[in-house]
Amino acid sequence: MIKTRLFLSAITAVSLLACNNSSDSSAESKKDTSAATTATTATVSLVSPLTEQEKADGWQLLFDGTSKGWHKYHGGSIESAGWVADSTLHFDAAKAEQNKNGADIVTDDEFENFDLKLDVKIDTGGNSGVMFLVHEGEDSAKYYNTYFTGPEMQVLDNAKHPDSKIRKHRAGDLYDLIACAKEVAKPALEWNEYEIKIDSAKLNMFVNGTNVVSTTLWDDKWNKLVAGSKFKQWPEFAKAKKGRFALQDHGHNVWFRNIRVKKL
């Protein structure tokens, strides 16, 4: 009897051990699945959503991780212009050069009084820009390039790009029109927060929270600024009070993220 009881006890112990091991294995499997799900979720959420407060305040995303809301200047997909939409809106310089298809991209929508915020990172030795009040049209003399109509907030590697030697061509400047009151742009391959705000003809531009340019559009002083710049040759430059935003292909890698706007 004692031997039989010992034998049965041993069988019971082995069974319990097997069940525990099975349970542990199942638990580990669930952990692995959970970890994979978390990793996937983390990848998807690299594009920061708006907070409930931002939504209540009237902000809207202009980039959600897809090409929705943007197109190649004068038509076509952003991919056909050398741009990639994933966790950032990125101009792939090598790919664009290989395919010979680089171009600026613009928003589908037009904006008048607005507050635009976005983060930008430029490659070493790179040059790009953010334009506003851009117009498209069939007349190539007036609308061949985005900068024929839209003023530009300069994006530049001040340390290594030759344009940095020219006043009004440095990072954060209102390109070829007004130099930054204070230079606060971070170096190449670091993120900078840019902001462009137009409210009843008052233009203010910010780099990393610092107001670097303030001016009034369309008055006599503004007209003189334009007349003394390279833009004087394009009659439609900065004439419109409503237009698209543009991101510039200047042949260098550049990344944009957290692109959001509030209509004023």
Tell me the backbone φ, ψ of residue 134, rounded to 5 degrees: -80, 140
- 244 with 130, same domain: the answer is yes
* pLDDT at residue 32 is higher than 70: no
Question: Mind listing the pLDDT tens digit for each residue in 42-69?
Answer: 334 468 899 999 999 999 999 999 999 9
- 56 with 114, same domain: the answer is yes
Q: How confident is the model at residue 172 (pLDDT cuts 50, 70, 90)?
A: very high
CA-to-CA distance for 25 and 34, rounded, in angstroms? 14
- 92 with 192, same domain: the answer is yes
Torsion of CA 65, 71, 76, 79, to 10 degrees: -30
Q: How confident is the model at residue 94 (pLDDT cuts 50, 70, 90)?
A: very high
Q: Among candidates 108, 90, 204, which has minimal Cα distance to 151?
A: 204
Q: Among candidates 145, 166, 141, which has minimal Cα distance to 154?
A: 166
Place of tokens 């741009």: 83
Q: Among candidates 251, 214, 73, 226, which has minimal Cα distance to 151?
A: 226
**How many domains does the structure of the chain reveal?**
2
* pLDDT at residue 196 is higher than 60: yes
- List Cβ<8 Å contacts ≥24 apart for 179-184: 180/207, 180/212, 180/213, 181/211, 181/212, 181/213, 181/214, 182/210, 182/212, 183/158, 183/212, 184/208, 184/210, 184/212
- 57 with 40, same domain: the answer is no
Question: Mind listing the pLDDT tens digit for each residue in 200-242?
Answer: 999 999 999 999 999 999 999 999 999 999 999 999 999 999 9
CA-based end-to-end distance of the chain: 91
- 79 with 159, same domain: the answer is yes
Using CB atoms within 10 A of its CB, is residue 30 exposed (0-12), middle (13-18) or buried (19+)?
Answer: exposed
Question: Mind listing the pLDDT tens digit for each residue in 64-84?
Answer: 999 999 999 999 999 999 999
Q: What is the pLDDT of residue 15?
A: 42
Fill in the amino acid letter for 26. Answer: S
- 181 with 257, same domain: the answer is yes
The strand ranges marked E within the chain are 59-61, 70-72, 83-85, 89-91, 105-107, 114-122, 127-134, 152-156, 192-199, 202-207, 210-216, 244-247, 254-263
Fill in the amino acid letter for 222. Answer: W
Question: Mind listing the pLDDT tens digit for each residue in 111-135?
Answer: 999 999 999 999 999 999 999 999 9
Domain that holds residue 140: 52-263
Last residue of a domain, one of 14, 30, 45: 45
- 104 with 231, same domain: the answer is yes
Q: What is the pLDDT of residue 48?
A: 84
- 69 with 118, same domain: the answer is yes
Percent of the chain residues past pLDDT 70, beyond the cut: 83
- 6 with 107, same domain: the answer is no
- 131 with 6, same domain: the answer is no
CATH number of the CATH domain containing 217: 2.60.120.560
CA-to-CA distance for 168 and 174, rounded, in angstroms? 7
- 24 with 65, same domain: the answer is no
Q: What is the pLDDT of residue 151?
A: 98
- 145 with 31, same domain: the answer is no
Q: What is the pLDDT of residue 4?
A: 39
CA-to-CA distance for 221 and 234, rounded, in angstroms? 18
